[in-house]
Amino acid sequence: MKPFQTLLFYKYARIDNAEAYKDQHLAFCKSLNLMGRVLIGDEGINGTVSGTVDSCKQYMEYLSNDARFAGIEFKIDEEDAPSFSKMHVRYKKEIVHFGQPDVNVWEMTGRYLEPDEWQKQMHDPDAVVIDMRNKVEWEAGKFKNAVTLDVDTFRDIPNHLDELEQYKDKKILAYCTGGIRCEKATAFLIQRGFKNVFHLHGGIIRYGKEAGGKDFDGKCYVFDNRLTVDVNTVNPEIISHCRRCNGPSVHFINCANPECNEHFILCETCATEMEGSCSEECKAHPRRRIYDGTGYYQKHNQEYQTEKARKKWMMEKVNSRFEE
């Protein structure tokens, strides 16, 4: 057994005085030396935390014993080191921002499909598998033949409803990382007239653990220091590619230019050659951060190029404008 665990969890539950509970929750997490991110909202809790096995056990007991979160499920990954470097607990009205206040996630959500049943149903010719995640996520990995939406955030999905209308009479099989987004997305579809709506119980993470991840191509994107995790142990295939050389890669970085900071895939060879930058312009930027092989930069702990380089870069920019 590895010394640390990462817990992924959520629960839709009406929480009175959620802002006050946020402070109480943060204090408890810190007492266990947990690291991670937790959202406390009027509609429930959503989080990922990481810590020692014993700390995670105490945390799971703490939530499970709270009547508001009865039946909460945890996806557990064993780790060699914590997956976060800080602990944040924040209050948000929504635990996953969708921007559709009329969605009744408690009564209208789609029907669950357990991993083994999902594996059978997604090959039904009358079924349409729909990915409810962001573009950066499905570029790293997705189910075979899944319908994907070109969205940067979950709240953009309602703007793409017209793309999904063609599947209104089909069996809808929706999925996301852990299930939380599908609870809302399927409720939204049902309230917009979709009749036969299902979603993967526990999301991609649970499907990988219980069904071996068959027919999930690539890796699953996660919002912590790991960035991606393996899912498929049956017929794995890498589907993401380096932006520069187009070779297969799942190496995500943030552009070393802090004024760009684009999050994208660049293989390790190209990342080294580009010094962690997405373009030659960003590579020459005077505030470019020092690329250490990870492309992950923490706030207030970033190295930059010299003031002399900054002035030289600014002069080149000014000169180029005059030449145009």
Distance between CA 69 and CA 22 in Å, rounded? 15
φ and ψ at residue 227, rounded to 5 degrees:
70, -50
Beta strand spans in the chain (E): 4-12, 35-41, 44-52, 73-79, 87-91, 111-113, 127-131, 141-143, 171-175, 197-200, 216-218, 220-221, 228-229, 252-254, 263-265
DSSP SS3 for 316: helix
260 catalytic residue (yes or no)? no
In this structure, are residues 148 and 142 in contact, taking their beta carbons and an 8 Å threshold?
Answer: yes
Choosing from 176, 220, 278, 282, the catalytic residue is 176
- Residue 172: beta bridge partners? 128, 197
First to last CA, the chain: 62
CA-to-CA dists, residue 240 to 13, 133, 183, 286, 317, angstroms: 36, 16, 27, 30, 34
Distance between CA 129 and CA 178 in Å, rounded? 16
Task: Name which of 266, 205, 264, 263 is nearest 231 in CA terms.
Answer: 205
Please give the torsion angle defined by the CA atoms of residues 49, 53, 59 and 61, in that order, rounded to the nearest 10 degrees: 140
CA angle centred on 41, ends 37 and 42, rounded to 5°: 170
Computed over its alpha carbons, how large is the radius of gyration of the chain? Answer: 22
297: left (phi over 0), alpha (psi -120 to 50) or beta: beta
Task: Name which of 244, 247, 282, 280 is nearest 264 in CA terms.
Answer: 244
CA 207 to chain centre: 16
User: Would you name the residues annotated as active-site residues?
Assistant: 176
